[in-house]
Chains A and B, each alone.
Chain A
Amino acid sequence: MKWRVLGIALVLAAVLLFPRVAGTYPVKLLQEILIWGIFAMSLDLLMGYAGMVSFGHSAFFGVGGYVAALALTHWGANAASGLLVPAVAAALAALVIGYFSIRVSGVYFIMLTLAFSQMFYAVTFQVAWLGAEDGIVGVPRPRLPGVDLNRTGVFHVYVAAFALATSLVLWRIVRSPFGHVLRGIHDNEARMQAVGYAVNRYKLLAFVIAGTLAGVAGALYTQFVGSITPEAFLWRTSGEALLMVIIGGTGTLLGGLLGAGAFILLQSLVSSYTERWMLLLGLTFILFVLFAPGGIVGAIRGRIGLRA
């Protein structure tokens, strides 16, 4: 246990000190990895722990992103606009979408969550006051007391803090009684019902928590880039998060961050050597699904000999 804490502290330190040693581009890459890592970890709560494979998680990423963009632009660039309001909006969206989606499972759950996120895509794509195809641009970063988020180094700590906080929150949730119930539901939903659990309520709560965190990721993304487009809602965005979770390791939480890292590094680094990063990504993903269902984390654990 002490080694794990030490390891995490080291990684955290490395992440925080990264801007001192690296140029702007790698630092931005790391920030993108951290933000997507939050998104992927939130999906892992749903997929890896509750066993709900959603193809519409981008809905909440997008809601967080768009609400942040609107709020920061029109209601003042502060923490409430940039984080609180988007998180609440994402939570509400997750409550509504989750309420309906929970009623179905398996393939139908995939189709329904997909349909919902595509609805958001369609609306933001076609509606003029949301920027239509071009989305919303020129979004300022929140003004926090005593802190200037427009400086890369400062924004870096800000993003890293959120990634850390999300990891900790999810880590606690997964180990909590609630987390254990989710695992029971994943393993045998019917028996959980038969012994008396109101399974739908737990699933909905998991959905809302995951959606809220995805919304936070979306809000951070808007702040990172300074804009948001309908593509945030696209099913391919959901798919990318799915890829990250699986490559990193479903049901490991940390896998979300690792998977995001693998994906984004592949996309950026590999694409500077060869144009075929998509092919490599697809093949990697296929190989992982076929031969390494535990993802990167599973592979590492196997090497060190720890139980999954």
Chain B
Amino acid sequence: MTALLELDGLTRYFGALGALNGVSLHLAPRERRAIIGPNGAGKTTLFNVITGHLAPSHGRVLFDGRDITGLPPHRVAQHGIARSFQRTNLFPRLTVLENLRLAAAADGRGSYSLFGSVARLTAPLARAREVAEAVGLAERLGDEVGRLSYGEQRQLEVGVALATRPQLLLLDEPTAGMSPEETQRMTRLLAAVPREVTILIIEHDMDVVFSLADRISVLHYGEVLVDGTPDAVRTDPRVYEVYLGGRDDA
């Protein structure tokens, strides 16, 4: 089966520091892959390189067989990759509906219309409502982002990425800073995402990881240390040493 996402020896230096050191990864369509690793392992840098926010020093990113290495972020998004951010990255002065609608309308159809009306762009509006429902914000459509709780903002954060109908969804610590209930809600939300959407998720919360992931890749000092099923990773002594070591696991 051809990989949906193929990372081929991705390397990225910041000065002398190698944030990524030859990361290679194959992500199958419909797969749910978690990327874990200690802070500073290069996880967010990896996302930044995939989405075009950073250019790699070496290596390639192939999506659906096409080389998208070094493409600007909006072109990467247009290929079908969406991303949520570790630090909430929404449209602060706009409503929940508008946040989602803008994302849903990003394919450009109708967006250059100078004299038309937003209400007549029914497809993005419908998609926005659909996603709002899916992320549990159907009651909050008319509220500005500032009125939402932190947990609700994180839900919207994922929603905005989902609204673009991506083939591949990159989630950067979606449950960062959440309470246990909020985390559970987010986990259910993510589990309910249709299987056609391939997911690559960075997470620190192991419960979330083990409940969502088909496979886990462990990143350490910019390299893939271990790559396997949750059980394999859970019992791998190298992982234990580097990451889970010294902590109670499960």
Contact = CB atoms under 8 A, between A and B. Distances in A.
A–B contact at 8 Å CB threshold (below): yes
Nearest to B110: A177
Contacts of B133: none
Interface stretch (B71-79, B183-191, B201-209): B71-79
Interface string B81-105: 0110100011111100010011101
Contact of A195 (B72, B98, B106): B106
Interface string B114-131: 111110010000000000
Main secondary structure on chain B at its contact with chain A? Answer: loop
A293 interface: no
A199 B102 CA distance: 13
A42 B114 CA distance: 15
A249 to B, nearest CB: 15
Nearest to B157: A191
A192 interface: yes
Contacts of A198: 74, 108
A199 B164 CA distance: 16
A57 to B, nearest CB: 20
B14 interface: no
A203 to B, nearest CB: 12
Main secondary structure on chain A at its contact with chain B? Answer: helix
Contact of A191 (B90, B93, B105, B113): B90
Contact of B111 (A175, A178, A188): A178
Given A196-B107, A198-B74, A176 B94 contact: no
Given A181-B102, A187-B91, A195 B160 contact: yes
Contact of B74 (A175, A199, A209): A199
Contacts of A177: 105, 110-113, 116-118, 121
Interface residues of A, number: 25
Nearest to A183: B94
A193 interface: yes
Contacts of B108: 196-198
A111 interface: no
Contacts of B106: 192, 195-197
Interface in A138-197: 172-173, 175-178, 180-181, 183-184, 187-188, 190-197
A173 B164 CA distance: 24
A193 B103 CA distance: 10
B82 A195 contact: yes
Interface size, B (range): 35 or more
B114 A175 contact: no
B83 A194 contact: yes
Given A190-B89, A196-B74, A197-B74, A205 B118 contact: no
Given A183-B94, A195-B106, A176 B74 contact: no
Contact of B102 (A173, A176, A184): A184
Contacts of A172: 114-115
Contacts of B102: 180-181, 184, 192, 195
A194 B91 CA distance: 12
A188 B85 CA distance: 13
Nearest to B51: A194
A191 B163 CA distance: 13
A51 to B, nearest CB: 11
A188 B72 CA distance: 17
Contacts of A175: 117-118
A196 to B, nearest CB: 4
B51 to A, nearest CB: 7
A172 B117 CA distance: 8
B116 A176 contact: yes
26 contacts: A172-B114, A173-B114, A176-B114, A178-B113, A180-B118, A181-B102, A181-B111, A184-B94, A184-B98, A187-B93, A188-B89, A191-B85, A191-B89, A193-B72, A194-B51, A194-B73, A194-B83, A194-B85, A195-B102, A196-B78, A196-B107, A197-B74, A197-B106, A197-B108, A198-B74, A202-B112
In the A-B complex, the 5 residue pairs with the closest CB atoms: A196-B77, A196-B106, A187-B91, A195-B106, A195-B103
Given A180-B101, A190-B73, A195-B102, 6 more contacts: A176-B113, A191-B90, A195-B82, A195-B103, A195-B160, A196-B74
